[in-house]
Chain A
Amino acid sequence: MASPLPYVRSLMIAAGGGILAVGAGLLVLLGWVTGNLTFLTVRPEWTPMVPMTAVAFCLSGAALLVITAIMNRRLSENAVTFERWRWVAKGLALLVALIGGRSLLFYGFGWPTEWDMLGFDKGEGPGQMAQVTAAGFLLFGIALGLTVRQRFYQSAQWLAAVVIFIGWIGLTRYFYGGDQSGVFFRMAMHTALLFAVLGIGLFYARPDGGFMVIWNGDTAGSVLVRGLFPAALIVPVVVGWLRLEGQRAGWYGLETGLTVFAMSNVLIFSVLAWHTASRLHREDTRRRQAEKTVMMEKQFSDAVIDSLPGIFYLFDRQGKFLRWNANFEQVSGYRAAEIAVMHPLDFFAGDDKTLVSSRISEVFTKGVSYAEADFVSKDGRRTPFYFTGISVRLEGEVCLAGVGIDITARKLAEAKIQELNTDLERRVVERTAQLESANKGLEAFSYSVSHDLRAPLRAVDGFSQALVEDYGATLNEEARHYLATIRSETQRMGVLIDDLLTFSRLGRASLEHLPIDTASLVKSILNNLLAEAAGRKIEIHVEELPPCDGDLSLLKQVWINLLSNAFKYTRRREPAVITVGSRRENGAVVYFVKDNGAGFDMRYANKLFGVFQRLHRAEDYEGTGVGLAIVQRIVHRHGGTVWAEALVNDGATFYFTLNRETRL
């Protein structure tokens, strides 16, 4: 169908033809009434139009107008009105056909022809309709009637072409100065003209079908018709006229004139044919090029979709497959002809159908979606696939294009991981239970240690003191010394038990994670230690100590233990030099405490952080051997490490990190 504007313009041309026919018919009738010869004959020596012909033209023009109105779709919106106007058109068409048919019939049987005059005086004219005119009306009436029938308007156009041809015959006769003898071809000049006009008008009344589609189109056929058809109508007439005039003037005889006529036609049509042919050739070449480009595009896209590792599909909103790749056929097991009539959901089963269906609608509403589902092939085999979908617009139609990837391997891996995880979780639960029970045992143990181990010690200490208090006077110096030793050893054991309990508790207590101002923490500890070590000559260097995250009470214990160790093992140095600082290693902060004290032999460094491990004799440096074990346990619980460097009698340096939690 042509675009709207030419459609309406075509209808306007048709309507113009109708108005012209009605107007001309009315003028002729006026001429008969008033006796105005110009209206009847155009030129006095020409044949007049009989009144019946004028009436027939009025009816024909009116019918054409009604058809135009029907074709203008505004009328067809209301079905009842549409139907009514169709009957009006059919009625008018029938009248026109009857007028023509009656005249022909009367000619055929040699019956009187006065009816054509409708009571007017026929004067000089023939007093009847020409046979050709009558035939023209019969044909045009039928053509009008067929035009309103959807199935027959192509036949109507053939009939209209004959009517135009009849008009053309009449006009050509007048062009050549037509003789006024005979009845068969003797139609009025305006009768011929109006036939041509009405015939053309009828063509334009159906611009959406038949010949008009070709006439208005841009196909090779259209070019041919538009190039040759007008020439075919006009050129022979004009060339014939030239030949006639030449002959009449006596420039050449009959044979030469015919030769000139024939050769001129040959020449003009050859040139025209050549011209049209070259236009068609250009058009065709361009078209072939375009087709080639399209073909290449098609081959390219075929190559692209066939080279995809997965399956490719393109289907429209109704689920009709438009394209798919070779993989699709291979994986599904269906042949192309089968896929062409299948629906996308035919490749899924069970819950997957619902899922995929909703994801497909999502593509059409949101533009993109995906789905994981089992692709069911022809033999019933199910393969897990990952499908993508995006909406694409193809010739104004929204379609879904996407690819599907086989995810069997991934699914297997997932299942394996799931299995491993389940196993791992089960084992973790088992181990946790074991650990919890071990921890419970340990807790009960340390609880009873803290109660029951201390009670006898307290008794030993208490009664020793009572002995000193109550019987001190009767004891000699040596006995009192023994009692003092008993008491000091008892208390040492108490400290050991306390340290041990602290150490075991460290493994259980939960950690806090708060920001800690390391610099001020170290400063307050140093102040306490310096107060205790009053009288000693000690140089303290505090370098940069960045803050960290951790458990304040535990980290305080770390610093206390390390710093008090430094104080303890530098007791025999004059002056004692203690440096506290930090450095960065691999982005982590490493804190250190360095002293110039007794140091130790690096061969025993591995024993340093063990519980009750001591590298010095108790007489030299007192201690329980738990302090560094506590340091290590706290540092480990903060995700850090602790280590030391030392030389015998040349000081020691203790390093620790709180890797995970150190603020950078």
Chain B
Amino acid sequence: MNTPNSETVEILLVEDNPSDLALTQRALKKARLANHLHVCRDGEEALDFLFGDALHAGGGSGRFPRVVLLDIKLPKIDGLEVLRRLKADPRTRTIPVVMLTSSQEQRDVIESYNLGVNSYIVKPVNFEGFSAAVEQLGMYWLLVNQPPGQQT
């Protein structure tokens, strides 16, 4: 529903909570990063978008985002599983993944880093801090950090 007009998806946001989604989109828009945003509402949809079929990896759009913002607590397939699949596939292994989560649970943090997450942001109740963090991180992964094999 939020697929941008441009052909390339720069940011994939996976978020089920509509309020958080709206606020994150708002933050990204303020940072002028919302142009190439694609939103998935659960883990299955995210995997479908990336690989074409959540159950049979390999197909998909063939287009890979340059950064993935991933909530941990998701319906159907949770964020950690999506992260595991992303990092297990050689085509998507190099895509930076940022976990966006309410959870401060140590086991989630440790599990995420074990699976090779690139960054981990705890969504604070204070939204100002959150939007600042999103802006900075989005910028960093999108503009500063070049994926391997691509030149600016």
**A contacts, CB < 8 Å to B:** 447, 450-452, 454-459, 461-463, 465-466, 490-491, 493-494, 497-498, 501
Contact = CB atoms under 8 A, between A and B. Distances in A.
Contacts of A451: 72-73, 101-103
30 contacts: A450-B104, A450-B105, A451-B72, A451-B101, A451-B102, A451-B103, A452-B102, A454-B123, A454-B125, A455-B17, A455-B19, A457-B125, A458-B102, A458-B123, A458-B124, A458-B125, A458-B127, A458-B130, A459-B19, A459-B20, A459-B23, A461-B126, A462-B19, A462-B23, A465-B128, A466-B26, A491-B126, A493-B125, A494-B124, A498-B104
- Closest 8 CB pairs between A and B? A494-B125, A459-B19, A462-B127, A462-B23, A451-B102, A454-B102, A457-B125, A461-B127
B19 A456 contact: yes
Contacts of A454: 102, 123, 125
Contacts of A459: 17, 19-20, 23
A455 B105 CA distance: 15
A450 B26 CA distance: 23
A452 to B, nearest CB: 8
| Majority SS at the chain B contact face | loop
A450 B103 contact: yes
Interface centre among B20, B72, B104, B127 (most CB of A within 10 A): B127
A457 B73 CA distance: 17
Contacts of A498: 104
Interface string B102-146: 111100000000000000000111111010000000000000000
B20 A455 contact: yes
Contacts, number: 59
Interface string B64-107: 00000000110000000000000000000000000001111100
Nearest to B16: A455
Interface centre among B26, B73, B124, B126 (most CB of A within 10 A): B126
B125 A490 contact: yes
A443 to B, nearest CB: 9
Interface of B: 17, 19-20, 22-23, 26, 72-73, 101-105, 123-128, 130
A150 to B, nearest CB: 97
B23 A463 contact: yes
Contacts of A497: 125
A461 B123 CA distance: 12
A447 B103 contact: yes
Given A447-B103, A450-B102, A459-B19, 7 more contacts: A451-B72, A451-B73, A456-B19, A462-B19, A463-B23, A498-B104, A501-B104
Contacts of A450: 102-105
Contacts of A501: 104
B19 A458 contact: yes
Contacts of B72: 451
Contact of A461 (B17, B101, B103, B125): B125
Interface centre among A451, A461, A501 (most CB of B within 10 A): A451
A465 B73 CA distance: 25
Contacts of B101: 451
Contacts of B19: 455-456, 458-459, 462-463
Contacts of B128: 465
B131 to A, nearest CB: 8
B102 A455 contact: yes
A494 B23 contact: no
B145 to A, nearest CB: 27
Contacts of A493: 125
B73 A491 contact: no
Contacts of B104: 450, 498, 501
Contacts of B127: 458, 461-462, 465
Nearest to A454: B102
Interface centre among A461, A490, A501 (most CB of B within 10 A): A461
Contacts of A447: 103, 105
Nearest to B108: A447
Nearest to B24: A462
A525 to B, nearest CB: 22
Contact of B23 (A452, A458, A491): A458
Contacts of B123: 454, 458
Nearest to A495: B125
Contacts of B26: 462, 466
Contacts of B130: 458, 462
A57 B17 CA distance: 141
Nearest to B127: A462
Contacts of A466: 23, 26
Nearest to A465: B127
A466 B17 CA distance: 17
A11 to B, nearest CB: 99
B50 to A, nearest CB: 24
A490 B26 CA distance: 20
A497 B126 CA distance: 13
Nearest to A453: B102
A112 B127 CA distance: 161
A452 B102 CA distance: 8
